[in-house]
Amino acid sequence: MNPQFSLQRIGRFIYRNLTLLKGSITIAASVIAILFFIGSLIDLRGDLRFTAEEFVSSLRPLFIITGILFTFAILREAHAKKGNHFYFSLPISPLERIIAIWSTSSILFTLVFTIFGMLVGQFAVAVASFFSSVDFHLVHPFTENYWSLIKFYTFIQPAFLLGAISFQKNRIGKTLFLVVLAMVGVFLFNVILCFSFTGGAFDLFESDPFTTEAFERTSIEYSSLGSFLFGIVLGPVMLWACYYKFIEKEV
């Protein structure tokens, strides 16, 4: 294997993965298009406009669910009993492999899904304007809610990527279980922080202004630090773990 880093190998590996999944991608795109089209028409009933907030609200569940399923699908070959040896013997380094997979399941997926959603939403507006009193207008998702959705997916996706690499069976279920445990841990950490502003655990659950102030202080004074640490753990640390997991499987 050529030890030098190669963008060309990354590009070829991305193309290979997408080619192998083209059937599943076509079916998924058809289902998503139908669901999003129906949702867009429903959103047009009230004010006769498909606003950016309504776009993001309809897009959010489809985007998150599809992104997670796509992450696991792109690594399905790595767990195949008959084909995994060939998969890990491909002439590509672990670093190039993880960059290719993450770029496909995060950056490329986000870009394509957004454009696809805009096209379907715009088609729904065009159809509604032709058959009803809806005025034709352009659809765009680029609001604060949209960027919050992208940020959220970018942070959680590496955790599911690690689960897709690590687990052999019931990969989605096991990964979701660990993510829920992590969320519970974050909640308990916030509760412990609240203890430092109250008289203890019993005072925490009393309905009084002091307890309310404790929650507010915890949110204000620790939210930035917590968000930063949470992002580091779910982002770079998870990708770093994925890198070593590929090294382990290739040995």
Q: Rounded to an integer, what distance in angstroms lies between the CA atom of residue 74 and that of residue 95?
A: 16
- Note the pTM of the prediction, 2 decimals: 0.80
Say which range, 48-52, 53-57, 159-163, 247-251, has the weakest mean pLDDT: 247-251
- Percent of the chain residues topping a pLDDT of 90: 29
Q: What is the mean pLDDT of the chain?
A: 80
* Structure-derived torsion over alpha carbons of residues 123, 127, 128, 133, reported in degrees to the nearest 10: 130
Domain ranges of the chain: 7-250
Q: What is the mean pLDDT of residues 60-77?
A: 92
Q: Closest Cα partner for 139 from 117, 116, 122, 114?
A: 122
pLDDT at 91 over 50: yes
HSE-CB at 137 with a 13 A cutoff on CA atoms is 12
**pLDDT value of position 133:** 75
| Higher pLDDT, residue 229 or 189 | 189
- Percent of the chain residues topping a pLDDT of 70: 78
Q: What is the mean pLDDT of residues 95-108?
A: 92
Q: What is the mean pLDDT of residues 9-27?
A: 92
Integer Rg of the chain from CA: 22
Q: What is the mean pLDDT of residues 182-203?
A: 62
**pLDDT value of position 86:** 82
In tens, the pLDDT along 19-33 reads: 999 999 999 999 999
